[in-house]
Structure formats: C-alpha cells, structure tokens
Amino acid sequence: MSDRTPARKLGPLAVLLLAIPCVAVLIVPFFNTIQPELFGMPFFYWWQLLWVVLSSVFIGIVYKMIVPPGSGD
C-alpha cells in the first residue's frame, strides 16, 4: 500500500488554466502578422515563444492546485 495522499481532481478553474495556452496558439489568424516586431523578431514567432514560457507557468499553477503539499512529488 502507498502512504501518499492522492492528487485532487481537476476542477473547472484548472481545466480553464490548461485550455488557455492551447487556445492562444491555435487561433492563427490572430497572430499571423509580422508587426509588431520585438528585437527584430516578427510577431508570429515571439507570440509562439511567449506561450512556451506562459504554458509552463500555467501548468505549474495547476500542479500546485491539484497536488497536495508534502506528497513528495
């Protein structure tokens, strides 16, 4: 038997936080432009790279929401 506390289920807020990055990178007509540029990089590319970082932040928040403290994971 395991003495670990089971993780909580995903609530609506957690599902929403996980869905936001997915939707943000799938609405291509929104970010399919060159302007504005950031450090010479077209908008299309830096938007995608921004969401790589933001996705990890969102996943980290959801992880903290569902895994109880002290579970060792």
How many domains is the chain partitioned into structurally? 1
**Residue 31 domain boundaries:** 12-66
Q: Would you say 68 and 8 are in contact if contact means Cβ atoms under 8 Å apart?
A: yes
Q: Is the pLDDT of residue 65 over 80?
A: yes
For residue 7, tell me if it sits in a domain. Answer: no
pLDDT in tens, 20-49: 999 988 888 877 778 888 888 898 888 899
Q: Which token pair is 21?
A: 């990055």
For residue 50, tell me if it sits in a domain. Answer: yes
For residue 46, tell me if it sits in a domain. Answer: yes
Q: What is the pTM of this model?
A: 0.76
For residue 60, tell me if it sits in a domain. Answer: yes
For residue 73, tell me if it sits in a domain. Answer: no
Distance CA 23, CA 17 (A): 11
Label residue 3 by pLDDT band (50, 70, 90): low
